[in-house]
Structure 1
Amino acid sequence: MPTILVIDDNPAVATALEVLFSLHDIETLHADSPDAGLELLARVPVDLVVQDMNFHADTTSGDEGVALFGRIHARHPDLPVVLLTAWTHLESAVGLIKAGASDYLAKPWDDAKLMATVGNLLELSASRRELGRRRAREDRERQALERDHELCGMVWADPASGRLLSLAVQVARSELPVLVTGPNGAGKEKIAAIVHANSAVRTGPFVALNCGALPAELIEAELFGAEAGAYTGANRAREGRFEAADGGTLFLDEIGNLPLAGQVKLLRVLETGRFERLGSSRERQVRVRVVSATNADLPALIAAGRFREDLYYRLNAVELKLPALAERPDDILPLARHFLPAGKRLGPAAEQALLRHPWPGNVRELRNAVQRAALLSPGSVVEAAALGLPGAPRTSAATEPDPAQIEAALARHDGVLAQAAADLGLSRQALYRRMDKLGMRRG
């Protein structure tokens, strides 16, 4: 059962609120002074506070309420506080909303409106507690992951990245081939390096080949090597990537671009560990852990006759699916800060612009945007305009916020409309009207 603390010197107000809250299965505690309320908060768990703005009969300024809220907020910054105010205290209440209060209601209050506000805040409070527990658990898991495994400098904070890394270090211990899938620029080679660094062959070489960056006629020579004269321009014998990776890991990026002839030879190496250089009949033996990656739809390539099905299943003993950056939003700001040069930092508006952008180019696009913005920013603070991203923050307070800006403000304040309105420079009623005009739900 949730608990609300009412801090009001008027016993009639406390009784009325206790009766109202009891009808909704809410326990009510009462304190008749700021000091008594703070003492209760220090020893009893409370989910929400409803406080008056004045506590003496001869006081009408609202200053006591302002001081009380300041003390509550300093000691319990996440505790929702609803202000009960006379119209003469409206300006003070609006100021407290900007300082972090959850909402304000005028006396005499409307029971339905009060319960709607209280219900919303209690639900948010419960969500915050659950979020806090989940984040604490994720922090413990993250610390264990970073303590017990080599993550190759991976910058991450999103739970989706944590789940992927947990799986990557788990499968690294086996000798099975691994297929890393995900969009371009998402960081597939980093995942391959982490698999290698936590494998039984971690002391061996890590060799990478981008199968999409070479002409088809040269890929086989790159993979398996070539004897002198094996093809035009081959003036001397050269070893291939398999030989170079012997005793370690070979990372084959954009594996979907490998020609069919190369696929046949790759399949044989995966099955036997044996191959011949181009232009040679001498068989060579290697022990190589293969990690491949692709952003292509390999089953579609199989259906089109461009990729061997038996090779696909041989490569895909374990699949690691790397989400797009937009699907792991908690990684965005840590990565952006990582890409900034020393002495530079992101301004608040720049951080919000980064969080709003969909990042179709993933981590690569983020890195380029941040480094370019840092170059264009003469001072130490990188502002939103320097990022050159669509949906930049409003430059004028008179401009009405668009849906994205409203959603961002609501997200920053856990859905509390009064705090989101203050963030946007609007009154609560103006935000209601704007949301209604845009067809947005209030909660």
Structure 2
Amino acid sequence: MRRILIIDDNPAVGQALSLLLSLHDIQAEVALTPADGLAALDRGPVDVVIQDMNFSADTTSGAEGAALFRAIRERQPDLPVILLTAWTRLEAAVELVKAGAADYLAKPWDDAKLVATVENLLELSESTREVARVRDERRRRREALAQRHDLGGIVYASEAMERTLELACQVARSELPVLVSGPNGSGKERIAATVHANSAVRDGPFVAVNCGALPAELIEAELFGAESGAFTGAGKSRDGRFDAADGGTLFLDEIGTLPLPGQVKLLRVLETGRFERVGSSRTRQVRVRVISATNADLKAMVRAGSFREDLYYRLNVIEVALPPLAQRRDDVLPLAEHFLAGRAQLGDAARAQLLAHAWPGNVRELKNVIERAALLARGGPITPDLLGLPPVEPAMARNLDEPSRDAVVAALARADGVVSRAAAALGLSRQALYRRMERYGLPV
């Protein structure tokens, strides 16, 4: 049930306000002193407070009203408060509005305006509770996921990344091959490491191989090992990466670059666990969980004949698709703060710039940008010029500068109520967002 608290030392005012609000199906409780009002707050949740500014013979200062407002804010920082007064200096009321009061109405009040203000604030309270509920639910889900599984310190806030991590942890329990797909720099190796860390072979080695970084003529030797004299430069026998990963996980990054001969041998290992070193006819046996990753369209490569269809389906028993950073913008600022590690602070304009950027290089690009900016900032605030990113397009800036009320509420929810982060997401300064929050009746 919605609860309005009226705090006014004039019983007639309290009675008139209660009657007015009851005509609009809004129930109100009246307190005649600041102490009684604060006690009423302590008894249970209140949606909106209407408070007088004058409780003493000094009817022009509003000192007791200001003290009451500050006490309310200390108890419930997000509680909407309407200031009512006939004599208080306007400057005093304006200062309290700047400090977070929802509105200021003079006595005698306009009935329609007062009721409309209260109804808007009640709607806001419901929205605020929903924002808090969603924020708390998302926080609890992240905490529960981290408690159930080893996430290796992965920093995220987006629902898209949460779904990716949940799937990675779910498939980790199987010994089936996993294909991690996603663009370069998006963190595919981190996802592969998460699968390994939550698998039955987590105590075994995790061996990562970037297939794209190896010369084509050496890939087979790197993966499967080679006997002495098998090729020029092979002065002695050597183990391959499958040997090194025995009892653990082998992560094959950029699997699409593996040449066709290597694909044939890899398929056999996946099917039987057996292989031969280059230059040897002796079969070796290993137990390895294979996780592969690609930024290429393997289906298109199959159609083009550059990737074996049977290997594709063997590798892609379970696919974990990692979205690009542009599709999980809620992760941008948490990642940026993580990469900064307290060495510098992001200014509001820099935050807006980070959120507006398309991030074609994904998390890797973000890390490089932040590392460079932190170095140039020398401990000071990071400004847009230090990021070295393209400026925000004017059209985008105009759109961001006039967010709707729903957009503001949604941004605050995504930012866990942190105004500076929500402001950056909307492309506003904190002061500009505060003004819009006041305009929309949102608690400041």
> Structure 1 length as normaliser, TM-score?
0.81
How far apart are the structure 1 equivalents of 2:381 and 2:224? 50
Say what the alpha-carbon RMSD is for the aligned residues: 3.7
Contact 1:350 1:382 in 2 (8 A): yes
Q: Which residue of 2 aligns with 1:38?
A: 38
Shift in CA distance, 152/353, structure 1 to aligned 2, threshold 3 Å: same
1:72-120 deviation line (CA, Å, top 9, x unaligned): 1111112122334569754333322332223344555555554554444
Please report how far the alpha carbon of residue 251 of structure 1 lies from its aligned counterpart in structure 2 after TM superposition: 0.5
Q: Which residue of 1 aligns with 2:51?
A: 51
| Identical-pair percentage | 65
Q: Which residue of 1 aligns with 2:98?
A: 98
Contact 1:50 1:82 in 2 (8 A): yes
How far apart are the structure 1 equivalents of 2:64 and 2:383? 39
Contact 2:22 2:28 in 1 (8 A): yes
Please report how far the alpha carbon of residue 128 of structure 1 lies from its aligned counterpart in structure 2 after TM superposition: 2.9
Q: Which residue of 1 aligns with 2:399?
A: 403
Shift in CA distance, 120/283, structure 1 to aligned 2, threshold 3 Å: farther
How far apart are the structure 2 equivalents of 1:239 and 1:429? 64
Aligned length: 424
Q: Which residue of 2 aligns with 1:173?
A: 173
How far apart are the structure 2 equivalents of 1:59 and 1:329? 51
Please report how far the alpha carbon of residue 261 of structure 1 lies from its aligned counterpart in structure 2 after TM superposition: 3.4
How far apart are the structure 1 equivalents of 2:156 and 2:36? 45
Shift in CA distance, 261/6, structure 1 to aligned 2, threshold 3 Å: farther
Contact 1:421 1:428 in 2 (8 A): no
Contact 1:86 1:107 in 2 (8 A): yes
Q: Which amino acid aligns with 2:398?
A: D
Please report how far the alpha carbon of residue 197 of structure 1 lies from its aligned counterpart in structure 2 after TM superposition: 1.8
Partner of 2:28, secondary structure, is strand
How far apart are the structure 2 equivalents of 1:356 and 1:96? 34
How far apart are the structure 1 equivalents of 2:187 and 2:42? 48
Superposition pairs for residues 144-183 of structure 1, below 5 Å? Answer: 144-183=144-183
Shift in CA distance, 384/129, structure 1 to aligned 2, threshold 3 Å: same
Q: Which residue of 1 aligns with 2:388?
A: 388
Partner of 1:252, secondary structure, is strand
Please report how far the alpha carbon of residue 368 of structure 1 lies from its aligned counterpart in structure 2 after TM superposition: 1.0
Q: Which amino acid aligns with 1:252?
A: L
How far apart are the structure 2 equivalents of 1:264 and 1:230? 19
Shift in CA distance, 249/430, structure 1 to aligned 2, threshold 3 Å: closer
1:260-294 deviation line (CA, Å, top 9, x unaligned): 33333322211111222334333222111011112
Partner of 1:51, secondary structure, is strand
Whether 1:319 and 2:315 are equivalent positions in the alignment is no
Partner of 1:402, secondary structure, is helix
Superposition pairs for residues 267-282 of structure 1, below 5 Å? Answer: 267-282=267-282
Q: Which residue of 1 aligns with 2:262?
A: 262
Please report how far the alpha carbon of residue 68 of structure 1 lies from its aligned counterpart in structure 2 after TM superposition: 1.9
Partner of 2:364, secondary structure, is helix
Gaps of 5+ in 2: none
Please report how far the alpha carbon of residue 219 of structure 1 lies from its aligned counterpart in structure 2 after TM superposition: 2.9
Q: Which amino acid aligns with 1:166?
A: E
Q: Which residue of 2 aligns with 1:397?
A: none
1:332-366 deviation line (CA, Å, top 9, x unaligned): 33322332256544445544544444433222122
Shift in CA distance, 424/243, structure 1 to aligned 2, threshold 3 Å: same
1:182-204 deviation line (CA, Å, top 9, x unaligned): 22212111111121122221222
1:369-422 deviation line (CA, Å, top 9, x unaligned): 111111111335444442234558x9xxxxxx7332454994666799xx9998
Q: Which residue of 1 aligns with 2:336?
A: 336
Q: Which residue of 2 aligns with 1:197?
A: 197
Please report how far the alpha carbon of residue 255 of structure 1 lies from its aligned counterpart in structure 2 after TM superposition: 1.9
Q: Which amino acid aligns with 1:281?
A: S
Q: Which amino acid aligns with 1:180?
A: V
Please report how far the alpha carbon of residue 244 of structure 1 lies from its aligned counterpart in structure 2 after TM superposition: 1.9
Shift in CA distance, 430/120, structure 1 to aligned 2, threshold 3 Å: closer
Superposition pairs for residues 242-321 of structure 1, below 5 Å? Answer: 242-321=242-321
Match of 2:431 among 419, 423, 430: 423
1:235-271 deviation line (CA, Å, top 9, x unaligned): 5443322222111101011223333333333222111
Please report how far the alpha carbon of residue 423 of structure 1 lies from its aligned counterpart in structure 2 after TM superposition: 1.5
Partner of 2:37, secondary structure, is helix
Range with bigger deviation, 316-325 or 157-166:
157-166
Shift in CA distance, 111/298, structure 1 to aligned 2, threshold 3 Å: farther
Contact 2:54 2:88 in 1 (8 A): no
How far apart are the structure 1 equivalents of 2:4 and 2:438? 29
1:196-226 deviation line (CA, Å, top 9, x unaligned): 1222212221111112223444333332233
How far apart are the structure 1 equivalents of 2:154 and 2:48? 40
Q: Which residue of 2 aligns with 1:69?
A: 69
Gaps of 5+ in 1: 395-400, 433-443
Whether 1:185 and 2:185 are equivalent positions in the alignment is yes
Shift in CA distance, 104/179, structure 1 to aligned 2, threshold 3 Å: farther
